[in-house]
């Protein structure tokens, strides 16, 4: 499923394809989606006048609230009878948003996922266990159809029942595990507790995504399982898994640019920034029929890696997502993403890769505490040892982030494990208001 003719297209040809698709898309949304007709009319934009990708920055953005206001089907561009599947975003805050797929959309999606699996070194010879949740969440079914498209064997395990996950991984001779990185860690930990030697199993690839994770977490997972761990990126509003994928270089997410046009914008000026600079990721769906989106603001923060990739693919690479702007903590005036804290913790000795960031209030003061588990086998009652570990964690965070954060080392296995997307930040402040 390596589609070299597309994935390694000359830039000029790719941009010509994008322009052609963009013109058709603007025509469709203007005529079929009220939200876009209103947005375009409001700024006097005539879709017929779009003839250069440089005009992208003149187009209005789409935000989550547009989708919420259109709940459930009002932004669909295809007739309801052509919609063959519906998914929705996780909707942690307020109303969920609904995304509909036509059969062509599903075909395009499974193609994108198959490219990702193939770039991770998988083929129709392999067995892939999907431990992303199945259901309205796009992870399970999205990955599932990609595996089938590749011609590999799919084990639709879904999330949860972790003992069973280990059993499947071992007994079904699975080659690749697809789930969130935090869940992979839990599966690996459970396997170890059961005395399963993960390095002796056939599993050799991890397809991990749906939440921010770090290079340090990649090292942990690769060592724990004896695998190569690949990042996969996506979001329900745009498609689900497979918007971006890592190749054998494991250095950034190639964006499926024949289907998705990517921009990075400055969140203050809302203007596009040059490749290499950080900002908010914005996508336009070039080929989707069900619910095409123009300049959708993802809230994800990252940058385009400007150098070309050694693998030969010409699709732009998005650096791994630092985090969502909504998850950014402002600690005494300093902006910090949980992933920056993860990078530091996971490099330290004697602590396990399980942590939480607790936001709380003391009087009118906001407080932040990082809780991290002690590695199993290190004696928790060795007060001096615990103090020394705490001090060195504190010093490492202070020197890397230039802020002082309270650190608490907790007992092994005392923090909640995730079976899907993990919540790293626990905010107790609202309970006290």
Give residues in contact with ligand DLL (CB under 6 A).
Answer: 89-90, 132, 137-139, 209-212, 231-236, 240-241, 298, 300, 321, 324
Q: Which residue is nearest to ligand DLL (CB)?
A: 209
By beta-carbon proximity to ligand DLL, the closer residue of 111 and 231 is 231
Report which of 303, 297, 362, 368 is spatially closest to residue 338, judged by C-alpha positions: 368
Least distance CB 178 / ligand DLL (angstroms): 8
Least distance CB 345 / ligand DLL (angstroms): 18
Distance in angstroms (rounded) separating the CA atoms of residues 184 and 181: 5
First to last CA, the chain: 54
Least distance CB 67 / ligand DLL (angstroms): 11
By beta-carbon proximity to ligand DLL, the closer residue of 143 and 203 is 143
Least distance CB 408 / ligand DLL (angstroms): 26
Distance in angstroms (rounded) separating the CA atoms of residues 342 and 370: 10
Please name the residue that has the structure tokens 């499947």.
Answer: 168
The answer to whether the beta carbons of residues 115 and 245 sit under 8 Å apart is yes
By beta-carbon proximity to ligand DLL, the closer residue of 90 and 190 is 90
By beta-carbon proximity to ligand DLL, the closer residue of 170 and 254 is 254
By beta-carbon proximity to ligand DLL, the closer residue of 174 and 301 is 301
Structure tokens at 356: 């939480």
By beta-carbon proximity to ligand DLL, the closer residue of 188 and 242 is 242
By beta-carbon proximity to ligand DLL, the closer residue of 135 and 376 is 135
Least distance CB 289 / ligand DLL (angstroms): 19
Report which of 237, 280, 296, 291 is spatially closest to residue 91, judged by C-alpha positions: 237
Beta strand 329-331 pairing with 334-336: antiparallel
Distance in angstroms (rounded) separating the CA atoms of residues 24 and 150: 29
Least distance CB 5 / ligand DLL (angstroms): 25
336-340: Cβ within 8 A, 24+ apart: 336/401, 336/403, 337/212, 337/301, 338/212, 338/424, 338/425, 339/212, 339/213, 339/214, 340/400, 340/401
Least distance CB 280 / ligand DLL (angstroms): 11
By beta-carbon proximity to ligand DLL, the closer residue of 185 and 389 is 185
Least distance CB 132 / ligand DLL (angstroms): 5
By beta-carbon proximity to ligand DLL, the closer residue of 229 and 321 is 321
Least distance CB 98 / ligand DLL (angstroms): 12
């Amino acid at each position: 499923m390596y589609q070299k003719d597309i994935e390694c297209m000359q830039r000029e040809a790719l941009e010509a394809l994008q322009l052609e698709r963009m013109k058709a898309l603007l025509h469709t949304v203007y005529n079929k989606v009220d939200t876009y007709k209103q947005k375009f009319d409001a700024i006097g934009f005539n879709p017929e006048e779009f003839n250069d990708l440089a005009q992208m920055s003149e187009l209005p953005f789409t935000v989550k609230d547009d989708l919420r206001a259109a709940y459930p089907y009002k932004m669909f561009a295809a007739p309801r009878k052509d919609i063959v599947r519906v998914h929705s975003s996780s909707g942690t805050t307020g109303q969920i948003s609904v995304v509909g797929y036509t059969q062509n959309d599903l075909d395009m999606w499974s193609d994108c996922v198959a490219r990702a699996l193939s770039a991770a070194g998988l083929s129709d010879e392999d067995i892939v266990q999907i431990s992303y949740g199945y259901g309205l969440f796009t992870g399970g079914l999205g990955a599932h159809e990609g595996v089938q498209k590749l011609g590999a064997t799919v084990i639709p395990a879904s999330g949860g029942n972790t003992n069973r996950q280990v059993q499947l991984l071992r007994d079904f001779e699975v080659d690749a595990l697809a789930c969130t990185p935090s869940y992979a860690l839990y599966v690996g930990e459970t396997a170890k507790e059961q005395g399963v030697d993960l390095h002796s199993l056939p599993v050799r690839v991890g397809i991990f995504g749906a939440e921010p994770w770090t290079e340090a977490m990649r090292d942990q997972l690769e060592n724990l399982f004896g695998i190569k761990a690949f990042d996969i990126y996506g979001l329900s509003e745009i498609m689900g898994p497979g918007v971006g994928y890592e190749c054998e270089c494991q250095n950034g997410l190639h964006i499926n640019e024949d289907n998705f046009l990517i921009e990075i914008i400055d969140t203050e000026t809302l203007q596009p920034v040059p490749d290499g600079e950080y900002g908010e990721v914005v996508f336009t769906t070039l080929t989707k029929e069900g619910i095409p989106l123009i300049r959708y603001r993802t809230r994800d923060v990252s940058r385009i890696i400007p150098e070309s990739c050694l693998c030969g693919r010409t699709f732009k690479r998005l650096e791994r997502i630092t985090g969502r702007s909504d998850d950014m903590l402002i600690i005494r005036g300093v902006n910090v993403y949980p992933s920056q804290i993860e990078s530091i913790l996971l490099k330290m000795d004697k602590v396990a890769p399980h942590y939480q960031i607790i936001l709380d209030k003391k009087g009118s003061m906001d407080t932040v505490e990082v809780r991290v588990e002690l590695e199993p086998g290190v004696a928790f009652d060795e007060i001096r040892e615990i103090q020394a570990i705490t001090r060195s964690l504190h010093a490492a965070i202070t020197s890397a982030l230039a802020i002082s954060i309270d650190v608490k080392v907790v007992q092994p296995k005392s923090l909640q494990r995730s079976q899907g997307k993990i919540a790293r930040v626990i905010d107790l402040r609202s309970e006290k208001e």
